[in-house]
Structure 1
Amino acid sequence: MLLISLTFFIAATKHRLWHSNPAIDRVHRYILAQMVDPLMKLATFYLLSKPLEKIYLVWGAILMIAHGTLFCIADACTLDDSNSVKLLFIGMLTYNLVDVTKHIPKDDHGHTFFGFVVNLWVIWGLIILKTAERFFSFEAAKRTYGADSIYSASNYMRYQDALTSSDADPNGNVDGDDNYKVTDPVFKKGNKYIVAGEEKIIFQMETENGNMTRIVPCATLSDEVITVQKVWGCVGELLGQQMDPDNQFKDMCLSFALMKLLRRRFLNNPGELELIQESRASILQALLNSDDQNRANRANRVFRVIKTELGFLEDFFFSKYPIVFGYGLPIYNFLLSLLLMAATGWLVVTTYYHCQLDRDFYITYVLVAMILIMEITEITTYVLSDWTKVALLIIYVRFPWLQNASFVNTALRFFFKRKTLHPLREKIGQFSLLTHYGQKLPIRGKPCRATSHAPIKLPEQVKETIVDCLIRFGQGCLPNGKSSLQRNGKTDLCSDCDFPTSTQTILVWHIATCYCETKSSKKDRNSSAKKVVATALSKYCAYLVVSAPDLLPDQGSAAKVVVDLMMSETDRLLEGARNESEMWEMMEKKDDAESNKRTIAGMGVELGKKLMAIGNEDTRWKVLAEFWAEYVLHLAPSDNVQAHKEHLASGGEFITHLWVLLYHAGNLGLGRPENDPNADP
């Protein structure tokens, strides 16, 4: 009873409790893998090995269902999931059912248990069907999301330019089909990122004068292959301006297609640099250079697409969604779950008539109730996921007759407006280094989880400033903050960007930003938009230094050494300070000493004084906001793909969103310029 209650608690609260809390998430995974899974297997084995106890047989069947449902909802698994233990349990259940069927017992009133046994056989059959359905979905998922499909997509992308020029239609028709007409000038050029159906494309080697030249598709795109261009060209009312004015539905398919491209980064595909160079123009034009003149709308769209893409990627690595949706919309899975719920509920009725109303019956009643709720949770989780929405959009785009049905358009629009159950968090961590003075910072020994400030919702102003910065530099090299200083006429501050490591630059500018925040007038403390951007990004970069240094360019021990040095210097400089006000007073006084000016804290205070010399507060915060926007983008490109994957399992970091956006823009983080002062040591 305790075991099934713990199982139910884990499944029911998965997406509400620990998904956004990395520490609790790690505890959850440990409990799930090291305690719940072995105990459920052991208990199921014990119960199924007692064929003479019919109530044990019922409990064993219920635990089998609970085990499968739990790990569909809460398990962090890969496509290599094994069903060997489940097959063993099915074999034991089959043996016991055959034995019970041979000698159908009678209850105290002389009634046979025939209906009870039939009910168990029905549950057995449904478990067999569900296991078989999962097996075939697994095989389909390997074809759809496995390595072969990645290389098929790569070959298809290499052929994209030639395919685009040959298929171009002056009227905007996609593949010569009047049912798909592209009006967007960006996607009219032939954005054929594959949303679904790449496993159906057959490739062959093209020869010229007997020599193999390139890999090309054997034929033009079939109706089974859905591309981003075809989604944008769909003339259905659902994807029109009336029902989808901000392109949320179409962008969901774009995110799914981009996720498929992003998977190659995790496989170190040697040809991805060439492919990204080909893809960068259309993605940047579609997301950054849209016709929408509203900065907020454009920024929200950019980050919405990236957030949805990372949500798909998280599900791909850490859930069973790829298996469940291996065949597309999992209609059979939903149907089998409903039938299993009905059969399990009927089991309570048959148990009621053939068992004594003792505590065993009530335990069975509670267990069945929990199983029903868990099955409903599983179905709801799948139905309200973005995977279901994409699967429905694929069907909608593939069959033109659906596009002409008003009821279908209205029903799908209502369904698509429902929110998903577990979106990636939209918060950024905040950490102020100097406010920890006197608290025995735990960052000395090893990176820690910052606790001085609770995470804040990602400010809209940050999104807008980041997007403006990306548009400004287009496809060029990302500067390390100097460009913003030069643009604002503060070239004298450029020398403060030339530190050997990025950690030093972050700490110096973070202290300077905190100094300006403390010294700002009370009127300014009501926070202008630029100040919100500067302080949020400053504290976020400090948070990365102490909480996620593996996402920064200074990997390894570099960040730890710099932080240790900075805290040692701060302890010496601020000895005796009792509060934040005294701390800043002592730093200002001791900053005059030549030896203190060479410390990180001293350089930060000195930089803060230079910034405070800017008389206009709006200008000062504009300088800081644009510097931090440029610098956080400069930090984002990274070769440490595994680190981003690990953080994605806990809800993801904001810098991962920037990393993905820059990846699609062609900046892979495959090394920095030799003259980059913030290059990896």
Structure 2
Amino acid sequence: MMYASAPVTQPAADTKDEVMQKAVVFTAVLLSILGGTLSVVGLERLIRGRFTLFSMVRFLLRSTFLLFLPLLSYMLSHAEGEGEGEGEAKKGELLFVLLWLILIELIRKKVDAMVAEGSFSRVASRFKLASHSDEVTRLVWIGYLIYSKVDSKSKKAMFVILWSLAAAKLGQRVLNEWKAQDSLSAAGSANIIAGYMQHVLEEDEKKHQNGGNSGGSSTATDNPMDRCDYVVMGEEKLMLKEKKKKKKEKSEVFITTPHCGYGVGRFPHDQDELKHVHLCIDDHDKKAKSSLVTVKDISKKLGRFPCSNTRPSFIDHMCRLCFSFSLFKLLRRRFEHYPMVEVGSKMSRRVMVECLLTAGNASRAFRVLQMELDFLENYYQAGVPVVMSAPWLFIINFLSSLLFVFVYFLAAILITLYAAKEEGIVTYSIVTLLLMVTLLAIEITDFLTAYLFSNWFLVHLLCLYVRPGGCMWNLVGKPIICCFIAYRLLVFYSLRLFLRLTGRPVDEKKMKMRQVSVVQACEPIRKFAAWTSQVTVATDAKVAIVKSLLDSGEVISLPLDIIGWKWNDIPVNTITEIILACHLATELLEAKAGDKPTKTKKKKKKQEEEPDDDDDRDHRTVATTLSRYCMYLVARVPELVPDDERWVSDKYEDVKSCLKQEASRGRHRSWSSTWCCPWWRGSSWKQALMEMKEDRLKDMEPAVRAGVELFQQVTNKQDSAAAAWKKLADFWTHLLVYLAPSNDVEGHAKVLASQGSDLITCLWAFCTHAGIKRRSPGPAEMNADKLRVRAGNNPRP
């Protein structure tokens, strides 16, 4: 028995070692592939926007990295065991594992920050020493392993150099966070912007009181951005330095935000819960004022861009980019709880209407809002505050990473030559090379996407271009900036051409919108398609939303009067139930209408009597897409609906359960006819729901009952189908605008961090800047007892 068992134990151990070595190689190969893919997709994301595979690749890279850590622990224990048994025979394996440990510490911080969602608050820019304690502990442990495991003095010196470079990288990260916390252009920018906007608002009110125009004389050909004083960069230069504060110059201006810091208030007009902002600026400091770059400066001076008598489209794009960056700085105060004194003023309303709604088409306005939210989302990531506070720190960080990789590569070659005779050293060399490729890919991706080709860096260059300078700056500096901008445009257009050739054209005007249909969710055949599909927001929908924003004013009311409903006439009492009921009515009308109408030539008399098919199709598209988007908010993002999240989810499930019961009854009835096709079976229950009588409706869920009644009310009227679709399109447009203003900053921050700039978040940002809010509930809506009675089976006649 002993003779038989001896040869079985050794092959089993060898087989386990081979499996683990193959697992290490496979994981390293996967890491390098994902790192290379991250670089390609990262550049593609700069052009295609949020809806790319960038987030998925980062998630897979982090998961693969976490898988590599236990494998690395096994290889370390295996190398130590082999070293004890065979002396110097396996020392090379231990040296390679120590190399991996040092390299992994550099990759760990980058990978950990990839999937973590940034905190949209002041805490995100605060330096916390405790967050680096685990890094310090691991680095000390690696230093102990190097001291205890490496015997040769030359090799120990080589590892000490690598360990020192890794420690220097850790020190750089600590310094970066410390500088970002103290920087007035990063963490302190929101406070300065709050004081600056107070100053701008006061100046605007003085000009209006004196009978002048706040932005200067305006003509029909003026660009509204030429009169916008919103700051883009350089606001930190306005602050008085300590030396000037001690002199107490007469040019010193003290700015404070009134009506803040006392009691409890409510955004946007009563901001009593926010702190006072106190700033001292030098009103006559020409150097500081020349360093301050506003949207007005960008718009005017880029008009004189070389070879541009008439402003080209890319110049307009750069002006809109700077305007969106200024809006991002203003919106940051909302997340970090600083006063937004201009909100609700005539100035803010005028700027948002002129620069966004009336200065261009609807797609352009939504593009500006999307870029603003992209700036906001990127700012609350790990590296962007560092870039904004001191760009040279980011460049030094990248160059030090290249130096580390170079030294690391030399160390890997020396260890390979030292352990050339050992078995399996080629495999360890390949793994080391793959890990270096992964680190380089991550560093290059960060450098290209967060700095060199980022929109932030382009805005920074444009601000440097428009700032006044000396003769040498005008002759040397500005041409270099123009060359880099031209190079950036060339790279981007080349990538767009490549994407177009590969069948993935890029259209910046496109905006995705998610869809959910509660009717389709009740049908087994179309259930999976109704989970959450994406469609492109139609131009007609954007135009309708912009028109609704123009007509809204400062206070938006619930648009039930558009479809003929009033609070006293419907058996529902919350916004969620109204959305569910109107969505069901829209879906039933869509099912009754069948396929979309096609263009047909009609006689002139018939065209005068009936609406045009194109208008009918446009209104129908707007109504159905916005209806399903609002249902997506109810079903998937209940935190963005005014009602409580649990209530929203419960009401959605109640409506879906009720419709599922009706669909099940319809299928049972249809099975009696064996000749009927599946499509007829799927639509028979809808037809029965459309024709349901009042005695049956009394037993239905209140939202379902209200939806069927609204559908019957719309179809029984003498109006044409085109008129019904127009009413529904206007209703859903106004309802979406009604849902946009909100005090729920955390809900939008959560959606923005996980899904990017959604349609409702873009509208919320616009309403925040323009000071638009929802009308407070009236007496009929606040009377809960009466609403409970009406929500039951005793509707008010």
Residue 349, structure 1, aligned to residue 413, structure 2: yes
Whether the 8 Å CA contact 2:740–2:764 is kept in 1: the answer is yes
Q: Which runs of 5+ in 1 are unaligned?
A: 106-112, 176-182, 293-297, 443-448
Give the structure 1 partner of residue 101 of structure 2: 60
Give the structure 2 partner of residue 414 of structure 1: 490
Give the structure 1 partner of residue 666 of structure 2: 577
Give the structure 1 partner of residue 514 of structure 2: 429
Give the structure 2 partner of residue 368 of structure 1: 436
Give the structure 1 partner of residue 20 of structure 2: none
Larger Rg: 2
Query: What letter corresponds to residue 376 of structure 1 in structure 2?
Result: I
Q: Distance in 1 between matches of 2:189 and 2:78?
A: 43
Q: Distance in 2 between matches of 1:440 and 1:530?
A: 28
TM-score by length of 1: 0.78
Aligned residues: 637
Give the structure 2 partner of residue 231 of structure 1: 298
Give the structure 2 partner of residue 505 of structure 1: 578
Whether the 8 Å CA contact 2:544–2:733 is kept in 1: the answer is yes
Q: Distance in 2 between matches of 1:146 and 1:614?
A: 61
In percent, how many aligned pairs have the same letter?
22
Give the structure 2 partner of residue 625 of structure 1: 729
Give the structure 2 partner of residue 514 of structure 1: 587
Give the structure 2 partner of residue 481 of structure 1: 559
Q: 1:328 to 1:361 in 2, by over 3 A?
A: closer
Q: Distance in 1 between matches of 2:63 and 2:718?
A: 56
Q: 1:213 to 1:267 in 2, by over 3 A?
A: closer
User: Relative to structure 2, which stretch is displaced further, 573-582 or 258-267?
Assistant: 573-582
Q: 1:454 to 1:522 in 2, by over 3 A?
A: closer
Residue 588, structure 1, aligned to residue 690, structure 2: yes
* Residue of structure 2 aligned with 1:659, choices 764, 772, 793: 764
Give the structure 2 partner of residue 464 of structure 1: 543
Residue 467 of structure 1 and its aligned partner are, at CA, apart by: 1.0
Q: Distance in 2 between matches of 1:12 and 1:635?
A: 42
Q: Deviations over 1:424-472 (max 9, x none)?
A: 9942221111223365999xxxxxx994352222222222211121122
Q: Distance in 1 between matches of 2:526 and 2:206?
A: 63
Residue 642, structure 1, aligned to residue 734, structure 2: no
Residue 47 of structure 1 and its aligned partner are, at CA, apart by: 11
Query: What letter corresponds to residue 351 of structure 1 in structure 2?
Result: I
Q: Distance in 2 between matches of 1:258 and 1:430?
A: 28
Whether the 8 Å CA contact 2:185–2:234 is kept in 1: the answer is no
Residue 537 of structure 1 and its aligned partner are, at CA, apart by: 0.6
Give the structure 2 partner of residue 267 of structure 1: 336
* Residue of structure 2 aligned with 1:87, choices 133, 136, 149: 136
- Map 1:178-193 → 2, pairs under 5 A: 184-193=222-231
Q: 1:71 to 1:571 in 2, by over 3 A?
A: closer
Give the structure 2 partner of residue 301 of structure 1: 364
Residue 10 of structure 1 and its aligned partner are, at CA, apart by: 6.4
Give the structure 1 partner of residue 191 of structure 2: 151
Residue 629 of structure 1 and its aligned partner are, at CA, apart by: 0.7
Q: Distance in 1 between matches of 2:776 and 2:560?
A: 16
Q: Distance in 1 between matches of 2:531 and 2:511?
A: 19
Q: Deviations over 1:409-438 (max 9, x none)?
A: 533443565889999994222111122336
User: Relative to structure 2, which stretch is displaced further, 595-604 or 660-669?
Assistant: 595-604
Residue 635 of structure 1 and its aligned partner are, at CA, apart by: 1.0
Give the structure 2 partner of residue 178 of structure 1: none
Q: Deviations over 1:617-643 (max 9, x none)?
A: 333322211111110110112222111
Give the structure 1 partner of residue 624 of structure 2: 535
Give the structure 1 partner of residue 791 of structure 2: none
Residue 70, structure 1, aligned to residue 111, structure 2: yes
Q: 1:583 to 1:27 in 2, by over 3 A?
A: farther
- Map 1:542-557 → 2, pairs under 5 A: 542-557=631-646
Q: 1:361 to 1:21 in 2, by over 3 A?
A: closer
- Structure with greater helix share of residues: 2
Aligned to 1:159, the other structure's residue is in SS state helix
Residue 534 of structure 1 and its aligned partner are, at CA, apart by: 0.9
Q: 1:676 to 1:150 in 2, by over 3 A?
A: farther
Give the structure 2 partner of residue 110 of structure 1: none
Aligned to 2:233, the other structure's residue is in SS state strand
Whether the 8 Å CA contact 1:159–1:216 is kept in 2: the answer is no
Give the structure 2 partner of residue 139 of structure 1: 178
Whether the 8 Å CA contact 1:311–1:424 is kept in 2: the answer is no
Q: Distance in 2 between matches of 1:424 and 1:315?
A: 21
Residue 327, structure 1, aligned to residue 432, structure 2: no
Whether the 8 Å CA contact 2:194–2:341 is kept in 1: the answer is no
Whether the 8 Å CA contact 2:35–2:442 is kept in 1: the answer is yes
Q: Distance in 2 between matches of 1:619 and 1:438?
A: 29
Whether the 8 Å CA contact 1:138–1:323 is kept in 2: the answer is yes
Residue 42 of structure 1 and its aligned partner are, at CA, apart by: 7.0
Query: What letter corresponds to residue 481 of structure 1 in structure 2?
Result: P
Aligned to 2:622, the other structure's residue is in SS state helix
Give the structure 2 partner of residue 250 of structure 1: 319
Residue 160 of structure 1 and its aligned partner are, at CA, apart by: 1.0
Query: What letter corresponds to residue 56 of structure 1 in structure 2?
Result: V
Residue 92 of structure 1 and its aligned partner are, at CA, apart by: 5.1
Residue 364 of structure 1 and its aligned partner are, at CA, apart by: 2.2
Q: Distance in 2 between matches of 1:588 and 1:384?
A: 55
User: Relative to structure 2, which stretch is displaced further, 369-378 or 1-10?
Assistant: 1-10
Whether the 8 Å CA contact 1:231–1:397 is kept in 2: the answer is yes
Residue 159 of structure 1 and its aligned partner are, at CA, apart by: 0.8
Query: What letter corresponds to residue 427 of structure 1 in structure 2?
Result: K
Q: Distance in 2 between matches of 1:167 and 1:416?
A: 43
Q: Distance in 2 between matches of 1:258 and 1:68?
A: 31
Residue 336, structure 1, aligned to residue 416, structure 2: no
User: Relative to structure 2, which stretch is displaced further, 343-352 or 511-520?
Assistant: 343-352
Give the structure 2 partner of residue 161 of structure 1: 201
Aligned to 2:557, the other structure's residue is in SS state coil
Q: Distance in 2 between matches of 1:516 and 1:161?
A: 49
Whether the 8 Å CA contact 2:558–2:735 is kept in 1: the answer is yes
Q: Distance in 2 between matches of 1:226 and 1:311?
A: 21
Q: Distance in 2 between matches of 1:399 and 1:124?
A: 46
Query: What letter corresponds to residue 430 of structure 1 in structure 2?
Result: Q
What's the Cα RMSD here?
Answer: 4.7
Query: What letter corresponds to residue 520 of structure 1 in structure 2?
Result: A
Q: Which runs of 5+ in 2 are unaligned?
A: 1-23, 84-90, 119-123, 257-278, 500-505, 600-615, 668-680, 788-797
Whether the 8 Å CA contact 2:619–2:726 is kept in 1: the answer is yes
Q: 1:275 to 1:100 in 2, by over 3 A?
A: same
Whether the 8 Å CA contact 1:566–1:601 is kept in 2: the answer is yes
Whether the 8 Å CA contact 1:237–1:403 is kept in 2: the answer is no
Query: What letter corresponds to residue 107 of structure 2 in structure 1?
Result: A
Q: Deviations over 1:110-159 (max 9, x none)?
A: xxx69xx55x5664454344434433332232224666432221111111
Residue 237 of structure 1 and its aligned partner are, at CA, apart by: 1.8
Q: Distance in 2 between matches of 1:212 and 1:273?
A: 16
Query: What letter corresponds to residue 267 of structure 1 in structure 2?
Result: E
Whether the 8 Å CA contact 1:69–1:378 is kept in 2: the answer is no
Whether the 8 Å CA contact 2:568–2:780 is kept in 1: the answer is no
Residue 454, structure 1, aligned to residue 551, structure 2: no
Residue 8 of structure 1 and its aligned partner are, at CA, apart by: 5.2
Q: 1:42 to 1:75 in 2, by over 3 A?
A: farther
Q: Distance in 2 between matches of 1:289 and 1:301?
A: 10
Aligned to 2:628, the other structure's residue is in SS state helix
Give the structure 2 partner of residue 109 of structure 1: none
Q: Deviations over 1:549-588 (max 9, x none)?
A: 1100112433234334434543554551124311112213
